[in-house]
Amino acid sequence: MGEILLLAFLFLIAGVIAVPIASRLGLGSVLGYLIAGIAISPLLKQLHVDVVSIQHFAEFGVVMMLFLVGLELEPRLLWNMRNRLLGLGGLQVVVTTAIIMAAAIALGQPWSVAMAVGMVLALSSTAIVLQTLNEKGLMKSDGGQASFSVLLFQDIAVIPMLAFIPLLALPELADMVNSEAGDGHAAGMSFVAHLTAWQQVAVTIAAIAAVVVGGSYLTRPIFRFIAMAKLRELFTAVALMMVIGIALLMTLVGLSPALGTFLAGVVLANSEYRHELESDIEPFKGLLLGLFFITVGAAINFTLLTANFGQIIALTLGLILIKSLVLLLLAYVFKVASSDRWLFTLGLAQAGEFGFVLLTFTVASSVIPTALADKLLLVVTLSMLLTPALFILYDKVIVPRYAGAQARKADEIDEDGSIIIAGVGRFGGVINRILLAAGYKTVVLDHNSEHLERLRAFDIKVFFGDATRPDLLHAAGIDNARMLIIAIDDGEQATQLVRYVVKHHPHIYIVARAVDRHHVYELWAAGCRDIIREHFDSSVRAARSALEALGHHPFDAERQTRGYVENDKSAMRELADLYDPDVPVHENSAYVERTKAILASHEGAMQGSTKGFASRVERGWVPPSLDDEAAAIAENAANDD
């Protein structure tokens, strides 16, 4: 127990110190974690910690990341990507493998070893690249999309590679094979190993079908069941259960867990629980990926590195050069736009965590000798360590040269800004329908599962979640939103939400629903400037109806009520400035005095002693008196003379 706590504390403190410093210096969080890992590696060695097994555990962060990526990607978008996925991704893997293989043969390796090395090094680091792209907000850019296509293809390609590598086994190494059973990907606990090929295919298809069908039809009832308990942590538990369950299923049938959860994410991308899942999994993903990067840094074998320094540095740089050239060529062929071409080229030039997986597996399968594998491990690690530097190169050198293109991109994001509606009961529902009819994109959040049920019957898209939670607002896209409409019932929560958004997202326009007069003042004090009282308009209309029924001319009734509204609004506006949320109303003397004065003026108007709001109503269309008219005519006559 004590050891686990010590280890956890060590990893956490290293990350907490190194990452903010790295971010401040503009190096990005990934490099921060890597440096933290290097910094604590001597300590870990002292404590005899098995860094590699921690790394395998932390690789689960990649699985979670792909789940999250899937959630962002609707099936339609995935289908649109198919050409790039197969063309760009396929060519990258095949061409890079071939060139690295040729280079390895030139360096004197047998063809089978060279081929295995080619496959190991052709893969890039999904963890580093996606994390960095997300951090920089480049995921939706052309380069980001192209990068993602390649990474996704690589992830799929790992599966046939795992099947193919044992065929390359060297007879002289086979004798030395120990009983160590690969890793997670190699499926130590495979369920399908003893089945025939056809049965394996059938089981694989069944597993994928289970993920798709389960994701489509089971999520909803499960979440509805969970929502009854009204416990926040249960959602997190269910989200984790889903991701781990799918990963387990995929491992059992010999598929990539990352691929499986990605698929599940895509299936759930249209679900109303998408943002809830996203905000639940996000922190786990972040922590596990951080841990993964730390272990990459900590696993560097410095003894081996110093002994072969020149050779390993040369190999690393050679690898990055080869990969960059292939990527640049493909970027031209597939017409990736301007500066994005370089993002794509420099971003994917490293080897990745799947390289670790394959290396362990190749050693276990007697394909690559251990001594070579250890060196390659260093090459992979160093290339990952250099990736943040390449991203900095992109930011500082490439982007400024394409400054014009960047400005256009910012505009596009601006246009993309959606409108978030919090609460979709009777109040928010009307707002949503009107905005949708006007052609705006809305993201609707509600944490009442009955509302969700009712709205789904009408094909209205709503996401489950409590809009007052900052993480959920983030998942719903508050960073790019242009407007937030707060239509939730709970006044206190609405005020808190206004306070939070005004503070953290001052650019967002807020329209808020107020419960009553005092709530209007609360919202005003919290910083909202567009406040709608929930029952005000309907009571005004009821009053107008009453006046009409009492025989007032409809146009007079309209103007009478309009006058009341204007008067009430200006009185509220005055009082809002005097209102102080920290002082009870009856102790706020300025507020009390002003209220008395306004009330007196209203009463006077009713008794006919002052004009009050009646003056707003009666001013128009009152004919001049006969004397006034005579004077005007006289004046006209005088002017004529």
Partner 1 sequence: MAKLIVYYAHPGHKHSHANKAMVAEARTVDGISFVDLYAEYPRFEIDIDREQQRLLDHDVILFQFPMFWYSTPSLIKEWQDLVLEHGFAYGAGGNKLAGKYLMLAVTAAGQEDAYTANGYQKHPIRTFLTPLEQTARLCHMHFLAPYVLYGSLRATREGLVEPHASGYRMLLEAIRDDRFDLQSAERGEVLCCDDLPILEEA
The footprint of partner 1 (CB under 8 A) covers: 553-558, 620-624, 626, 629, 633, 636-637, 640
Judged by beta carbon, residue 160 or residue 624, the one nearer partner 1 is 624
Beta carbon of residue 621, minimum distance to partner 1 (angstroms, whole number): 3
CB of 552 to partner 1, least distance (A): 9
CB of 144 closer than 8 Å to CB of 133: yes
Tokens 């249209």 belong to residue: 270
- Minimum CB separation from partner 1 for residue 465, in Å? 38
Q: How far is the CB of 627 from partner 1 (least distance, A)?
A: 11
Alpha carbon distance 171, 177 (integer Å): 10
The full 3-state SS of 322-388, as one line of letters, equals: HHHHHHHHHHHHCCCCHHHHHHHHHHCCCCCHHHHHHHHHHHHCCCCCHHHHHHHHHHHHHHHHHHH
Q: Output 441 or 553, the one with its CB closest to partner 1.
A: 553
Q: How far is CA 70 from CA 85, 219, 264, 543, in A?
A: 14, 15, 7, 53
In angstroms, what is the minimal distance from the CB of 544 to partner 1? 9
In angstroms, give the least distance from the CB of 263 to partner 1. 52
Beta-carbon-side half-sphere exposure of residue 399 (alpha carbons within 13 Å): 15
User: Smaller CB distance to partner 1: residue 50 or 640?
Assistant: 640
Least separation, in Å, of the C-beta of 529 and partner 1?
A: 26
Nearer to partner 1 among residue 198 and residue 621 (C-beta) = 621
In degrees, rounded to 5, the angle at the alpha carbon of residue 632 between the alpha carbons of residues 630 and 637 is: 95
Q: Report the alpha-carbon distance of residue 535 to residue 542 in Å, rounded.
A: 11
508 vs 201: CA distance, rounded Å:
51
The owner of tokens 């005899």 is 48
- Which three-class secondary structure state does DSSP give residue 483? strand
Question: Least Å distance between CB 611 and partner 1?
Answer: 16
**Which residue, 302 or 555, has its beta carbon nearer to partner 1?**
555
Minimum CB separation of residue 622 from partner 1 in Å reads 5
What pairs with residue 511 in β-bridges?
Answer: 485
C-alpha to C-alpha distance for 345 and 322, rounded to whole angstroms: 11
Nearer to partner 1, 569 or 619 (CB): 619
Strand order in the sheet with 442-446: 463-464, 442-446, 419-422, 483-486, 509-514, 531-533
The closest of 235, 250, 219, 238 to 63, measured between CA atoms, is 250
- The β-bridge relationship of strands 531-533 and 463-464 is unpaired
Residues 6+ apart with CB under 8 A from 5: none
Q: Whose Cβ is closer to partner 1: residue 553's or residue 569's?
A: 553
Q: Which is nearer to partner 1, 145 or 561 (CB)?
A: 561
Q: Which is nearer to partner 1, 450 or 629 (CB)?
A: 629
